[in-house]
Amino acid sequence: MTGNIEAGSILTGKVTGIQPYGAFVALDEHTQGLVHISEITHGYVKDIHDHLKVGDEVKVKVLSVDEEAGKIGLSIKATEEAPVQPAARARKPRRRQAAAIIQEGDGQQGFNTLKEKLQEWIDQSQSEDLIKK
């Protein structure tokens, strides 16, 4: 089926069909492979038709060859240089508002709301225990 087609080869092929998940590319009269949508170009591809049409000649890199299944995985973006990303803007770190920590007289620290609720929770627990008995 694939004859002399090996992973890593760069070939020229012709787009023979387009599906939502990728484009089929004929590498010769008897062999075709699939360029998955994620391998069309660098960046996000919403609609393959925005990048390719049936009959286009494309340069592809062979990513994988599965003789048993008769499938060839191709990539167009692997034949292109990745676009240079603009330098990321320097971001100011976000300020996070911390909860107030209350200093206790004996050197312990704690959250004030927990300290206030603790006695209430203990009282509730004890009253529930009395009701169950």
Q: What is the DSSP letter of 39?
A: G
Same domain, 37 and 72: yes
The model's pLDDT over 64-112, given as tens digits with 9 standing for 90+, comes to 999 888 899 999 999 988 888 776 666 667 777 666 555 555 555 555 6
Q: Would you say residue 75 lies in a domain? A: yes
Lookup: tokens for 46: 């919403």
Same domain, 31 and 61: yes
Same domain, 46 and 105: no
Q: Which of 30, 56, 27, 29 is nearest to 40 (CA)?
A: 56
Q: Would you say residue 96 lies in a domain? A: no
The count of structural domains within the chain is 2
The model's pLDDT over 121-132, given as tens digits with 9 standing for 90+, comes to 888 888 776 666
C-alpha separations of 109 from 104, 113, 115, 119 in Å: 6, 12, 10, 17
Supply the CATH number for residue 55's domain.
2.40.50.140
The pTM of the whole model exceeds 0.85: no
Q: Would you say residue 113 lies in a domain? A: yes
Q: Which residue range forms the structural domain that includes residue 73? A: 10-79
